[in-house]
A and B are shown apart, each in its own frame.
Chain A
Amino acid sequence: MEIKCHRVACGSARGPALVTREAISFLGNVDANTGMVVDPAHELFGQCIAGKVLIFPGGKGSTVGSYVIYQLKKRGLAPAAMINIRSEPIVAVGAIISGIPLVDRVTEEILRVLSGTVVEVDADRRLVRVSELTG
């Protein structure tokens, strides 16, 4: 199915979804050298975000998080694309400076996508394609 969205950072990419209902602070929650979620308190603890379509409500925490996203990208460990319910400046700026497609203003239904489902983000056409919605 196709879902309409708002473009934050341009580009398109597809990959397996990694979904959380919790906000992400890239500084602190994610290790820039491995792409792993290292905060034991986070729902995605122990998961690797590299190459995934990372679906989460939005960012939080330190503005240094933008640079952490950039570092992940340079090390080949960044998400292929990101989808937010509502982007805030940390993740928006991080995605833009890193050239990672980012869209937001999708319905909360997107958080019901099962991790592993293939999702395509086409920021330029303002479209998200999901093979199936479950839950």
Chain B
Amino acid sequence: MYLSREEEGIYQGERGETLRRMMEILVALGDIYGAERLVPVRSVQIAGVSYKNIGEAGLEWISDLQGQVVVPSILNPAGMDLCRWKEMGIQEEFAQKQQQTIEAYRRLGVTIDCTCTPYQIYQGLAGRGDHLAWSESSAVSYANSVIGARTNREGGPSALAAALVGKTALYGYHLDENRRPSHLVEVEADLRGSDYGALGFLVGRTVKDGVPFFRLKGRRPSPDELKALGAAMAASGSVALYYVENVTPEPPGPWQPEETIRLGRKEIDEVYAKYPGSGADAVALGCPHCSGQELEWIAGLLQGQKVQKELWVCTARKIAEEHPQLVATIEESGARVFCDTCMVVSPATERFSRMMTSSGKALAYLPGLAGVQAGLGSLEECIDVALGRRQ
């Protein structure tokens, strides 16, 4: 791999041991994936935050690092709400370790926002054509597909290396040749809300790490619906980039699909039928984290009502802070607005046996990551189950 004189100096240790090792990570990954050179990144989103995932081993490594990030860097969701962890049912010992992990990142100059939707809270992190080093799979998908930026799905150490060096290796989704569609997906149905999660759940399983190009009938998907679609495909498969005709930025150059998939209302409804919400002992919304728009919708449905089952609404702390009235309305119903975390990454989820959600991503992850059965329904159906209006 080609290194500039400055990069070579860092690689040889001229700027200290931490940077030398970080550059060594970038070069090693570049060699493994056949990168020609490094490329500057506009921002970094760092994985390896939830103590449930990184454990003592990861915490030790982050705590030992010296240095400061040189590009705007924020975090993936943590294993708990950093303020209200007790209400979630998180144990004291876990909370302490989680706080230490966050502190270790803060010390490196990382902005302590723990969210899977960085694009919802900061406009300046990503624009069309920007190279990024993001980690969380749904954020990677949104950045590549909806924003038109370029990022691979980084692991914890490679994201931190990019944050401290300000660069990443140029391979994978940074290159046009890997951004052409592999599958054409024709959808003969007018989709709405959680339908996009169900669609993503189906398509991710089929295309795996491919690049699907969607041709949709009916109304134009909202940013929240695109967020749900990409998140589900990144969970049931490992899709990091997709296109929606006349909605997202277009693919580079001419392309031919290797395969065409046709789906309609019948296939979408089969997902709901296969994963019903009946028997759920809790309901969770906000995977990926709720936008202000979604909080408004949820608050509207809960206004003046009382929940009969535990209802979690997960969002980024900044979003909650921007909408104190909506948060108050939601919480008056007995529901909880949790920040910094979600039902997929928090160990607090493990005490439930069946969770209902409007998210195709949570549907894919809850059984494996938390040992919890999952049911899928629209936002309204989820709220109805929480309110005891339907079983």
Q: Cβ of A71 and Cβ of B60 under 8 Å apart?
A: yes
B8 interfacial by beta-carbon distance below 8 Å: no
A89 touches B57 (CB 8 A): no
- A68–B56 Cα gap in the complex (Å)? 9
CB-CB contacts below 8 Å: B37-55 with A: 48, 53-55
Against A, the Cβ 8 Å flags (1 = close, 0 = not) of B152-174 are 00011110000000000000000
B57 touching A64 by the CB < 8 A rule? Answer: yes
CA distance A99 to B13 in the complex (A): 13
Residue of B21, B53, B54, B55 near A97 (CB, 8 A) is B21
Judge if B209 is at the interface, Cβ distance under 8 Å.
no
Establish whether residues A96 and B28, one from each chain, have CB atoms under 8 Å apart when the complex forms.
yes
In the bound complex, how far is the Cα of B25 from the Cα of A32, in angstroms? Answer: 22
Instruction: Report B-chain residues with C-beta under 8 Å of the C-beta of A96.
Output: 21, 24-25, 28, 157
Does A110 count as interface, using CB distance less than 8 angstroms? no
11 contacts between A and B (CB under 8 A): A66-B157, A67-B60, A70-B57, A92-B25, A93-B25, A96-B21, A96-B28, A96-B157, A97-B21, A97-B25, A97-B157
Chain A residue at minimal CB-CB distance from B20: A10
Q: Provided the pairs A64-B57, A96-B25, A97-B25 are in contact, do residues A6 and B31 lie with their beta carbons within 8 angstroms?
A: yes
Q: Nearest 7 pairs between A and B by C-beta?
A: A67-B57, A71-B57, A67-B58, A92-B28, A93-B157, A63-B155, A96-B24
In the complex, whether A9 has a CB less than 8 A from a CB of chain B is yes
Min distance, Cβ A1 to any Cβ of chain B, angstroms: 25
- Alpha-carbon separation in the docked complex, A8 to B11 (Å): 12
In the complex, the answer to whether B58 meets A64 with C-beta atoms within 8 Å is yes
> Which chain B residue has the least Cβ–Cβ distance from A102?
B28
17 extra interface residue pairs, beta carbon distance < 8 Å, beyond A8-B28, A67-B55:
A6-B31, A9-B24, A63-B155, A64-B54, A64-B57, A67-B48, A70-B60, A71-B60, A89-B29, A92-B25, A92-B29, A92-B32, A93-B29, A93-B157, A93-B158, A96-B21, A96-B25
Across the two chains, which residue of chain A brings its CB closest to B53?
A64
Contacts of B21 in A (CB 8 A): 96-97, 99
Q: Does A129 contact B (CB under 8 A)?
A: no
Q: What is the minimal beta-carbon distance from A83 to any residue of chain B, in angstroms?
A: 15
Closest beta carbon of chain B to A71's beta carbon, Å: 4
A92: chain B residues within 8 A (beta carbon): 25, 28-29, 32
Measured in the bound complex, the distance between the Cα atoms of B54 and A63 in whole Å is 9
Give min CB distance, A84 to chain B, whole Å. 11
Complex CA gap A32/B61 in Å reads: 14
A74 adjacent to chain B (CB < 8 Å) = yes
Question: Within the assembled complex, what's the spacing in Å between the Cα atoms of A6 and B24?
Answer: 13
Q: Does A87 contact B (CB under 8 A)?
A: yes
Instruction: Verify B32–A70 contact, CB threshold 8 A.
Output: no
Interface centre among A66, A67, A87 (most CB of B within 10 A): A67
Give me the interface of A with B, judged by CB distance under 8 Å.
6, 8-10, 32, 63-64, 66-68, 70-71, 74, 87-89, 92-93, 96-97, 99
Q: Which chain B residue has the least Cβ–Cβ distance from A63?
A: B155
Chain B residue contacts of A68, Cβ below 8 A: 57
Query: Contact at B61–A93, with CB atoms within 8 Å?
Result: no
| CB within 8 Å for A67 and B32 given contacts A93-B158, A97-B21 | no
Contacting B56 at CB < 8 Å: which of A8, A71, A88, A97?
A71
Chain A proximity of B158: nearest CB distance (Å)? 7
A69 to B54, CA, bound (A): 13
A135 to B13, CA, bound (A): 41
Which residues in B have their C-beta under 8 angstroms from that of A9? 24, 28
Question: Contact check: which of A10, A32, A66 meets B24 at CB < 8 Å?
Answer: A10
Chain A's closest residue to B11 (CB) is A10
Report chain B residues within 8 Å CB of A10. 24
Q: Which residue of B lies closest to A69 (CB)?
A: B57
**Cα distance, A32 to B57, chains bound together (Å):** 8
With a cutoff of 8 Å between Cβ atoms, the chain B residues found around residue A71 in the complex are 56-57, 60
Evaluate contact between B32 and A89: CB separation under 8 angstroms. yes
Residues on A with beta carbons closer than 8 Å to the beta carbon of B24: 9-10, 96
Q: Which residue from chain A places its CB closest to the CB of B23 in the assembled complex?
A: A96
Give the distance to chain B from A32, nearest Cβ to Cβ, in Å: 6
A74 contacts across to B, CB distance below 8 A: 60
CA distance A10 to B61 in the complex (A): 19
A9 to B60, CA, bound (A): 20
Residues of A within 8 A of B60 (CB): 67, 70-71, 74
A67 CA to B160 CA, complexed, in Å? 13
- Given A74-B60, A96-B28, A89-B155 contact (CB < 8 Å): yes
Residues in B whose Cβ lies below 8 Å from that of A63: 155-156
* Shortest CB distance B174–A (Å): 16
- Min C-beta distance of A99 to chain B, whole Å: 7
For B17-35 the 0/1 string (1 means CB < 8 A from A) is 0000100110011011000
